[in-house]
Amino acid sequence: MKGNVYYSENEAVRNRQFIDDLLIEAGRNGIDLRLLIGEERPDTDVEFILFRDRNPSLATLFENEGFRLMNKAEVNRIANDKLKSFELASLLGIAAVPTKKVRQIDQINSYPCVLKTVDGHGGLEVILCKSAKQAEEFFAQFHDHTIIVQPYIESGARDVRVFMIGDEVVGAVKRTGNDSFKSNYTLGGSVEKYILASWQVQEVKRIAQALKSDYIGVDFILLPDGRWLFNEIEDPVGARSLYTTHDFSVAGELIGYIKEKLSLK
């Protein structure tokens, strides 16, 4: 079995440890896996491309050329648009953080609120906005992006990221922000292993099944009363917090899934 794993140039540097783990686990499973970076072209005889970039246009191009992507282009398109992700969760009947697109400041009804670009990631291009002046500055800075607004929800800067391979939960982490309303681990937040209740498992499974995804992260804001609200989908999802809190190789689980899925086609 032969495959490629694709990264942009910047992300290939930042994710070198995970890439090495993927290549090692692929070798253990009899898969010839080659890394593609930036402008490099896929091998013509690969059975799959593990697509690890936030680039729906490139993913679509590869699919149109006949390559099988994991995740497919449609997953990349929805996951990397926070408004589309919210619409999917709402369609599935999953409680979500209210989200709407705003084109101008007078469409913001109240403060404080949270402003985001639809395609930001890693906690970047997000602001807790307390005034119209801050909103003006955000709109000016990201004038070439689509912007969404969400109500500020007090959660103690806590959220849960659930990692899904296929339809199965492989792990979940609770993230807590450090002197910020953002809980992202890469921004200095803390993480701990989180055990899902059965109803939470069912909700994330509905999302993965609707998307027909191969490997995603799904983020939920934790509320003080024990409920949660869907917030975002991550594709590609980083696994640093999962490696920190769990004692298995995420790359190994993913490669095993790919081998089994392609063997059954």
What does each C-alpha distance from 9 to 1, 40, 96, 221 come to in angstroms? Answer: 25, 10, 34, 31
Topology of the domain covering 100-151: Dna Ligase; domain 1 (3.30.1490)
> DSSP alpha helices (H): ranges in 100-182?
132-141
What is the architecture, at CATH level 2, of domain 2-77?
Answer: 3-Layer(aba) Sandwich (3.40)
- Taking only the tens place, the pLDDT of each residue in 179-204 is 655 555 455 678 999 999 999 999 99
C-alpha span between 203 and 207 (Å, rounded)? 7
Topology of the domain covering 80-94+155-247: D-amino Acid Aminotransferase; Chain A, domain 1 (3.30.470)
pLDDT at residue 54, rounded to an integer = 96
- Taking only the tens place, the pLDDT of each residue in 130-139 is 999 999 999 9
Q: CA-based diameter of the chain, in Å?
A: 58
pLDDT at residue 184, rounded to an integer = 53
DSSP three-state, residue 128:
strand
Domain-wise residue ranges, the chain: 2-77, 80-94+155-247, 100-151
Strand 113-117 versus strand 126-129 pairing type: antiparallel
Residue 242 pLDDT class (50, 70, 90 cuts): very high
- The token pair at 84 is 């589309």
Over range 237-263, report the average pLDDT: 95
pTM for this model (two decimals)? 0.92
